[in-house]
Structure 1
């Protein structure tokens, strides 16, 4: 079948794992395509999962695993100390340029 050729195999999720759920009805053209993160609280049959969203609100219906993907938290934030140090170096460079 054509559908079976297009579907990607995704690894099964475990209870307690954080996932993102595909937004089937986005608000606009540039809105997020994924909702979450949500926590898997139950595993149903045929690759379906029961999810719990923000504020511990549980979704009433099971979600197919094809509409989920793993959530990875990115910790790319620069600590404020490094930003302040870079700002001080920048101001010192500007002051040296003005003196010349």
Structure 2
């Protein structure tokens, strides 16, 4: 869930809508075979904290609030700092494996 992978503002806006829906669905969970709402193990969600979503009042801060809400109930997503990742990985930001 990385907004800065979008190629333009329209694509970023569209990606934000997809991230929002994904977080809302993960917060709700899925029903198991007994009809009980559970947290799915896959796919793993990784949310990237970046300039557009980290500061209160930033354009996509609402996504960070939603991710935090989801974390309180479902213990997902995992978080990556774009700033730190780029510093450590030669200017690149990417999800970890495993």
Normalised by the length of structure 2, the TM-score is 0.21
Answer 1 or 2: which has greater strand percent: 1
Larger radius of gyration: 1
Normalised by the length of structure 1, the TM-score is 0.21
